[in-house]
């Protein structure tokens, strides 16, 4: 019955759109302009580029496909300006006739040095098609200059934004405004990525050489996104160079990477790969049999093919593969751990006319981990995976310069597998999926059906409103939920705008994970024994430009999350989700201020966030409120990048955060068996996460020098991690093996200088 409802609602949505489209008649003789904005060197489409008609308030921004549409243009001749960060501004005159629909593909020339003459004309008069709140687009050029251990990393760069917290300096997980990493929707070309981390969280699985656009929405995201409570990270892979074959290779301290791209018929291709080489380093390091180094390696591969079919159809096929492996054997203990992602996305975009644009996406995402071990003859094995197959269809209808409608459908099939063999006999540990007495083997399927519609209406030049509704239907839990979204914007002056957003968000998937060891995560669907997770966002945002080229955002927010999960530490046997998880509610509130300069020789940002998080679980901390482990309270960050000339580049990052919360101890006692003279000390915990570690702070510096090597463009990069050698405390525990209880601190990494070489060919 629920499936019938979703089909009926979807038919109504699309029927109304096409009826309106067919019934719509142009009420005047106005013209329109549409097309793509591209890189003149590579033919790559540019996302977020600006086009404006000089002397008017008409303009647009390119969408995820690089497409723009400007409607209701009075007949006449205009000067068209197109611009994008890191590119020369393009200006040309175009004459529009009555009722003319003109298609223009514009090409911008890249520039090595962004000067004040080469800047983005993001004119305040240009009306966006969508009200975006708490949305940040970090230029990929800036992301590549933020390096950790010689590696540029998407997640590491985003952690330098205010309000984005981490569990530690070696974690790439993103805690956004009180939400945990599993509450963030991570998309790569439209496909969900479930585990976006390498090296147990030190760096992410996304090779920055393969990424074209990074979009982060920290809250209040529009109706087209669903299935998560907190934030959206939308990544777009490079299409590839349409004009010539080129590549780039790099050798660094952690890994090496190589990417190659080139033209293919009326399109392009891109292949990028990255891999560690710890096994080579181990070969020249003396080994200690009592404390051997583990065999650890990871790799990731990005592939994308794009093709134009005529002027109105664009097809792309992309794939992503990552794998981590850890093998350790010593002193009667052996461990074999593997973690991997595989994703595929096929995108088809079709332009019906200058006002109607559609996108169809078919994607598949697979996340798997396996843990096999043996300790003194006691064997165990745990395997689990999640595999989703998703179909999406969406349409953007630019009804007029004041009215935009966006609608879509989404269907996902989830397959969850879980295998557990704790028989204790090493010789019984065999591959999952076979008949093994005493083993737990689960295999179940869930379906999700979603539909959404969103309307953006510019009431006048100063005021606009956006309303959206998302329908969610999950099969196993039999939950049917509606998520309304609302946003408004009022522009007081050319350099001052106020925005507000409210919305409800739902999440059906839950992550079973140990808080300190996120390398072995298990995704599970909500069943009928637990209510689905829900959140409500309230956001007030002020955007201004107090100085030329300096954008300042101030966000005030409040977020309420219900039926969120904590892993039940006492669960032994489970028949339902309520046995595995403890559920409760969380509130988060605070404000963030963010000042950014995107273009010029000197770019970067300064941000500060003050945030409060409070959780209440009936079965945790005696039912009393407590703050989660990742509550940092004060969060100050600085990113500065200075291009001295075409050869020399300098960059610096600095962070200062309140210390991580931890649970202390009030007393200890001795536990021992009858007749024994010795025992083991046990501590009595204090309030959950009631204490804080010392403040966390760190300075990183990066310098690069560009030169020619064998007539190839090359670059040497020196990265100094933790410049003044301040070692943060990773975690604190109590040693009760002696009569006197000792407080033990485990510290993070010291100063680490690394040198890497990058060559373009």
Nearest in space to 97 (alpha carbons), one of 73, 78, 74, 75: 75
Long-range contacts of residues 274-277, Cβ cutoff 8 Å, at least 24 apart: 274/207, 274/299, 274/300, 275/299
Q: What is the largest CA-CA distance in the chain?
A: 100
Boundary residue ending a domain (233, 253, 275): 233
What does the pLDDT read at residue 217? 93
Query: Residues 222, 240: one domain?
Result: no
Nearest in space to 206 (alpha carbons), one of 225, 245, 233: 233
Q: Which residues pair with 122 in a beta bridge?
A: none
Q: Is residue 114 part of a domain?
A: no
Instruction: State the CB neighbour count (10 A cutoff) for residue 395.
Output: 22
3-class SS of residue 588: strand
Q: Is residue 439 part of a domain?
A: yes
Structure tokens at 131: 């009200």
Query: Residues 173, 285: one domain?
Result: no
Continuous H helices in 174-265? none
Instruction: Say if CB 96 and CB 113 are below 8 A apart.
Output: no
Q: Is residue 677 part of a domain?
A: yes
Nearest in space to 172 (alpha carbons), one of 192, 199, 150: 199
What does the pLDDT read at residue 354? 82
What does the pLDDT read at residue 11? 44
Instruction: State the CB neighbour count (10 A cutoff) for residue 545.
Output: 16
What does the pLDDT read at residue 135? 87
Q: Which residues pair with 693 in a beta bridge?
A: none
How would DSSP label each residue in 654-697?
EEEEPPPEE--EEEEEEE--TT-S--EEEEEE-STT-EEPPPEE
Q: Is residue 122 part of a domain?
A: no
The residue whose two tokens read 């308030």 is 57
| Tens-place pLDDT, residues 441-480 | 778 899 999 999 999 998 888 899 999 999 999 998 888 9
Query: Residues 304, 261: one domain?
Result: yes
Nearest in space to 717 (alpha carbons), one of 760, 661, 756: 756
Looking at residue 613, which CATH number applies to its domain? 2.40.170.20
Which residue positions in the chain have pLDDT lower than 70?
A: 1-28, 112-129, 149-150, 168-172, 199-202, 278-294, 328-333, 375-378, 422-440, 513-520, 569-575, 671-681
- R_g of the chain, CA atoms, integer Å: 27
Host domain of residue 166: 135-233
Torsion region of 717: left, alpha or beta (phi above 0 gives left; psi -120 to 50 gives alpha): beta
Looking at residue 15, which CATH number applies to its domain? 2.60.40.10
Structure tokens at 420: 């557990």
Q: Is residue 40 part of a domain?
A: yes
CA distance 247 to 213: 19
What does the pLDDT read at residue 168? 67
Instruction: Say if CB 74 and CB 100 are below 8 A apart.
Output: no
Looking at residue 217, which CATH number applies to its domain? 2.170.130.10
Continuous H helices in 505-609? 577-580
Domain count, the chain: 3
Instruction: Say if CB 649 and CB 642 are below 8 A apart.
Output: yes
State phi, psi for 408 to the nearest 5 degrees: -170, 165
Query: What's the 3-state SS for 201-218?
Result: HCEECCEHHHEEEEEEEC
**Residue 414 burial by CB count (10 A; 0-12/13-18/19+): exposed, middle or buried?**
buried
Instruction: State the CB neighbour count (10 A cutoff) for residue 246.
Output: 16
Boundary residue ending a domain (201, 216, 233): 233
Query: Residues 91, 207: one domain?
Result: no
Structure tokens at 559: 């977020």
3-class SS of residue 157: helix
Query: Residues 336, 367: one domain?
Result: yes
Query: Residues 267, 392: one domain?
Result: yes
Instruction: State the CB neighbour count (10 A cutoff) for residue 575.
Output: 8
Q: Is residue 128 part of a domain?
A: no
Query: Residues 229, 253: one domain?
Result: no
Torsion region of 66: left, alpha or beta (phi above 0 gives left; psi -120 to 50 gives alpha): left
Query: Residues 420, 391: one domain?
Result: yes
Query: Residues 167, 297: one domain?
Result: no
SS3 percent helix, strand, coil of the chain, rounded to 5, is: 5, 60, 35
Query: Residues 430, 550: one domain?
Result: yes
CA distance 521 to 337: 12
Q: Is residue 126 part of a domain?
A: no
CA distance 490 to 133: 13
Q: Is residue 119 part of a domain?
A: no
What does the pLDDT read at residue 600? 80
| Tens-place pLDDT, residues 412-429 | 999 988 777 765 554 554
Query: Residues 251, 313: one domain?
Result: yes
Query: Residues 267, 183: one domain?
Result: no
Boundary residue ending a domain (199, 216, 233): 233
């Amino acid at each position: 019955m629920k499936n019938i409802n979703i089909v009926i609602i979807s038919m109504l949505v699309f029927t109304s759109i096409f009826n309106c489209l067919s019934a719509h008649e142009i009420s005047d003789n106005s013209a329109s302009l549409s097309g793509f904005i591209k890189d003149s060197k590579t033919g790559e489409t540019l996302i977020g580029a600006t086009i404006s008609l000089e002397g008017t308030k008409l303009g647009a921004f390119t969408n995820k496909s690089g497409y723009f549409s400007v409607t209701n243009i009075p007949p006449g001749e205009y000067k068209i300006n197109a611009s994008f960060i890191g590119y020369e501004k393009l200006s040309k005159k175009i004459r529009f006739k009555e009722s003319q629909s003109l298609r223009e593909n514009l090409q911008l020339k890249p520039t090595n040095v962004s000067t004040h003459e080469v800047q983005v004309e993001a004119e305040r008069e240009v009306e966006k098609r969508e009200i975006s709140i708490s949305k940040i687009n970090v230029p990929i050029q800036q992301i590549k200059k933020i390096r950790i251990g010689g590696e540029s990393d998407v997640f590491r760069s985003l952690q330098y934004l205010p309000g984005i917290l981490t569990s530690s300096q070696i974690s790439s997980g993103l805690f956004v405004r009180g939400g945990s990493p599993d509450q963030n929707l991570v998309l790569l070309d439209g496909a969900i990525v479930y585990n976006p981390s390498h090296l147990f969280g030190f760096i992410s699985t996304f090779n920055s050489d393969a990424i074209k656009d990074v979009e982060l929405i920290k809250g209040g995201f529009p109706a087209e996104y669903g299935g998560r409570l907190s934030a959206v990270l939308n990544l777009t892979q490079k299409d590839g160079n349409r004009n010539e074959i080129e590549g780039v290779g790099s050798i660094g301290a952690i890994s090496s990477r190589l990417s190659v791209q080139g033209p293919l018929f009326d399109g392009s291709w891109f292949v990028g790969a990255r891999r560690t080489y710890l096994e080579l380093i181990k070969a020249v390091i003396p080994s200690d049999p009592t404390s051997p180094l583990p065999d650890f390696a990871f790799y990731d591969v990005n592939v994308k093919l794009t093709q134009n079919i005529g002027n109105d159809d664009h097809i792309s096929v992309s794939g992503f593969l990552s794998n981590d492996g850890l093998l350790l054997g010593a002193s009667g203990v052996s461990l074999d751990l593997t973690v991997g992602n595989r994703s595929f996305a096929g995108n088809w975009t079709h332009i019906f006319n200058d006002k109607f644009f559609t996108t169809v996406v078919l994607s598949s995402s697979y996340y798997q981990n396996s843990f096999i071990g043996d300790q003194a003859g006691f064997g165990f094995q745990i395997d689990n995976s999640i595999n989703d197959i998703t179909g999406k269809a969406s349409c953007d209808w630019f009804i007029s310069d004041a009215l935009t409608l966006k609608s879509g459908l989404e269907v996902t099939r989830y397959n969850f597998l879980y295998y557990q063999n704790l028989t204790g006999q090493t010789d019984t540990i065999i591959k999952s999926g076979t008949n093994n007495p005493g083993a737990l083997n689960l295999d179940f399927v869930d379906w999700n059906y979603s539909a959404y519609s969103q309307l953006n209406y510019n009431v006048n030049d100063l005021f606009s409103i956006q309303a959206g509704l998302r329908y969610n239907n999950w099969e196993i839990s039999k939950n049917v939920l509606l998520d309304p979204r609302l946003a408004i914007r009022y522009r007081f002056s050319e350099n001052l705008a106020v925005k507000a957003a409210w919305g409800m968000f739902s999440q059906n998937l839950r992550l079973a994970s140990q808080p300190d060891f996120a390398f072995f995560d298990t995704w599970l669907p909500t069943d009928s024994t637990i209510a689905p997770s829900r959140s409500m966002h309230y956001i007030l945002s002020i955007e201004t430009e107090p100085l030329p080229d300096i954008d300042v955002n101030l966000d005030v927010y409040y977020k309420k999350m219900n039926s969120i999960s904590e892993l039940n530490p006492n669960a032994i046997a489970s028949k339902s989700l309520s046995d595995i998880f403890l559920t409760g509610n969380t509130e988060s509130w605070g404000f963030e201020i963010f000042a950014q300069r995107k273009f010029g020789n000197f770019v970067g940002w300064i941000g500060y966030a003050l945030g409060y998080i409070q959780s209440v679980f009936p079965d945790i901390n005696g039912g009393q409120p407590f703050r989660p482990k990742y509550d940092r309270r004060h969060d100050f960050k600085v990113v500065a990048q200075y291009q001295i000339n075409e050869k020399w580049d300098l960059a610096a990052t600095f962070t200062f955060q309140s210390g991580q919360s931890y649970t202390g101890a009030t007393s200890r006692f001795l536990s021992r068996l009858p007749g024994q003279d010795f025992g083991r000390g046990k501590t009595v915990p204090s309030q959950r996460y009631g204490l804080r570690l010392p403040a966390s702070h760190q300075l990183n510096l990066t310098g690069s020098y560009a030169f020619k090597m064998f007539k190839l463009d090359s670059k040497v990069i020196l990265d100094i991690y933790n410049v003044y050698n301040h070692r943060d405390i990773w975690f604190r525990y109590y040693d009760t093996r002696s009569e006197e209880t000792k407080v033990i601190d485990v510290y993070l990494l010291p100063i680490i200088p690394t040198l890497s070489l990058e060559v373009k060919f």
